[in-house]
């Protein structure tokens, strides 16, 4: 299974009886699990839903205490453990990519900043294209890899960023 639509079919087939872990806030937010279930037309059975604090789903996954869990698509643990993130094939979630923001006053005085930021954006999958589910998935994998260098390999964020910029020929070492 690759997509949330395919996962939906499994929830429907099993009457929602798949142990699922989400953080508490997501379980009750109007734009969270209730809307996701409506949008994809599935239900998590009440006795199969576990909730906890942010990050607890990662612990539950690692301990094999859940079958499905809500994670952030950029979590380093995904790369570390080879977990699968289902593609949001119907685009329920908006892209949550980081976006540079620079005040107009600064850009007016230093227009080269916009060019540099656009070059950086272009290094990521889809670089400036429409955020299709495939592009979003590929970007998440890029961020998983970068985050795992910091969280798992214990590198300094500045070192990981510099490696990335050098590899993409945006700066010289």
Name the residue ranges covered by the structural domains of the chain.
1-70, 92-173
pLDDT tens figures, 47-84:
999 999 988 999 999 999 999 999 888 888 988 899 98
Q: Which residues of 16-32 are buried (b: 16+ CB within 10 A; e: fewer)?
A: bebbbbbbeebbeeeeb
Q: What is the DSSP string of 98-118?
A: ------HHHHHH-THHHHHHH
DSSP string, 45-69: -GGGEEEESTTHHHHHHHTT--SEE
pLDDT digits (tens, 9 = 90+) for 73-128: 888 898 889 998 898 999 898 776 667 789 999 999 999 999 999 899 889 888 87
Choose the CATH number for 1-70 among 3.30.530.20, 3.40.50.360, 3.40.190.120, 3.40.140.10.
Answer: 3.40.190.120
pTM of the model: 0.74
* Angle CA 149–154–159, to nearest 5: 65
Query: Would the pLDDT of 168 be above 80?
Result: yes
C-alpha atoms less than 13 angstroms from C-alpha of 130 in its C-beta half-sphere: 3
Residue bearing the bigger pLDDT, 145 or 48 = 48
């Amino acid at each position: 299974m690759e997509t949330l639509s395919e996962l939906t079919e499994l929830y429907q087939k099993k009457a929602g009886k798949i142990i699922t872990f989400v953080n508490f806030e997501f379980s009750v937010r109007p734009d969270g699990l209730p809307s996701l279930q409506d949008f994809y037309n599935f239900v998590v059975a009440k006795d199969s839903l576990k909730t906890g604090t942010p990050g607890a789903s990662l612990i539950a996954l690692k301990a094999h205490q859940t079958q499905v869990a809500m994670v952030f698509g950029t979590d380093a643990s995904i790369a570390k453990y080879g977990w699968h993130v289902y593609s949001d094939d119907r685009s329920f979630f908006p892209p949550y990519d980081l976006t540079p923001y620079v005040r107009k006053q600064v850009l007016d005085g230093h227009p080269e900043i916009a060019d540099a930021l656009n070059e950086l954006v272009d290094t990521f999958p889809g670089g400036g294209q429409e955020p299709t589910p495939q592009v979003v998935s590929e970007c998440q994998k890029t961020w998983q890899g970068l985050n795992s260098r910091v969280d798992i390999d214990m590198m300094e964020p500045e070192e990981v960023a510099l490696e990335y910029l050098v590899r993409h020929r945006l700066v010289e070492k």
